[in-house]
Copies of this chain bind each other. A is one copy, B any other.
Amino acid sequence: MSLRRRMPPEARRSAILAAATELMAGHGWDTVTVSGIVDAAEISKGGFYHHFSSKDAVMEAVIRDLAASGLDSAVRALDTTEGDALKRFTAFVTAGLDWESARAETLDQIARIAAQRGNDPFFGRLQENAIEHLRPALVALVRAGAAEGTFSMSDAETGPAVDLLLHLLLSRWRTIAEARGHARAGAPDRAKRIVADRLNAESALMARVLGLTEAQAASLAEGRTGYAGSLSAS
């Protein structure tokens, strides 16, 4: 009974993470059990708790594993881009889009997990994590944009407006998931239209929230053309 196979800690850790991620895509977090993860990862309970301090810690790690690189690249785009606030905002949004199409399978996993009933804790923390990373940067950007006259926004509006922008970006996965469903069901045209409509609506609404002029709105929308939606089946 004791085939004991020693693995480099990092490999074991990511094996556990992979097992947990897959289980989460099938059940809600409360019905994903440590025993289940342990079985799927082919390790003992003791081994599991050697690598993770609690069941919750696994979820936290899964979230970081799935989202960290995307958030980082978006914030980095915002920080490194030169130009006015609109240009930087466009770079920020585009970076997120690029990440989504480059890591389509990751996005797909997130969508599958978030679609499961009972995964509210997962999605809540994912969102918390994202907001924690993105909100300060966006607030600063919007403030700067308002100061330089690029955006039309009073100081008191900035907070709620940024929350709206974040909500818009973070709720995109629902549409993506819906489109994936159509694509898998043999309606790729419909899928593409849904994604295109969504992105257009996002651009238009972001422009309204930020108080952009027609010309500015067009420039924002332009920055995100060519995004295929990467509707690969999985």
Contact = CB atoms under 8 A, between A and B. Distances in A.
A157 B209 CA distance: 13
Contacts of A168: 160, 164
By size class, the interface of chain A is 20 to 34
Contacts of A125: 120
B201 A157 contact: yes
A148 to B, nearest CB: 20
B121 A157 contact: no
Contacts of A164: 164, 167-168, 205, 209
A53 interface: no
Contacts of A120: 120-121, 123-125
A211 interface: yes
A198 interface: yes
Interface of A: 30, 118, 120-121, 123-125, 154, 156-157, 159-161, 163-164, 167-168, 171, 197-198, 200-202, 204-205, 208-209, 211
3 tightest A-B CB contacts, nearest first: A120-B124, A156-B197, A120-B120
